[in-house]
Amino acid sequence: MEIICDKCGMVILNPEMKTIRDGDVEHAYFVCSECNSVYPVCTTNGNLRKRIEVYREMAMRLKTRCCTEQFHRRVQKMKEENVRRSRELAKMHPLAPLLSEK
Ligand SMILES: [Zn+2]
């Protein structure tokens, strides 16, 4: 994975994912090694992490078995819901204040 830092233009190869917990909420993020800009990746809580687990299991079944069109749609929908929920959580629980407290 290769990411270009928006702030300094540095190419970040295989960014090292870090996580920080705030009660039940967990933020995954990485930091530009050049300018220390923080890039949030995803925000989850316990409930969403369970849903992501379920999604992963369902997605595995898609790979190994012949599944119905309906099942495909369910998996796709679940992924979209998880992404949306993660964005909501990220809005409700901003990452920046947690990092500046350190
Ligand atoms: Zn940078």
pLDDT tens, position by position, 2-50: 999 999 999 999 999 999 999 999 999 999 999 999 999 999 999 999 9
Percent of the chain clearing pLDDT 70 (strictly above): 98
Mean pLDDT across the chain? 93
CA pair distance 77, 84, nearest whole angstrom: 11
Å from CA of 61 to ligand 1 middle: 39
Distance 37 CA to ligand 1 centre (A): 6
Structure tokens given for 9: 């233009």
Judged against a pLDDT cut of 60, whether residue 73 lies above it is answered with yes
Amino acid code (one letter) for 30: F
Instruction: Report how far residue 41's alpha carbon sits from residue 30's, in angstroms, rounded to the nearest whole number.
Output: 7
Parent domain of 76: 2-101
**Residue 98: predicted pLDDT:** 87
Model pLDDT, residue 17: 94
> Which residues line ion ligand 1, judged by CB < 5 Å?
5, 7-8, 10, 32, 34-35, 37
Instruction: Determine the average pLDDT of the residues in 42-62.
Output: 96
User: What's the pLDDT at 102?
Assistant: 53
- Predicted confidence at residue 26, as pLDDT, reads 97
The residue count for the chain: 102
- Domains in the chain, number: 1
> pTM for this structure?
0.81
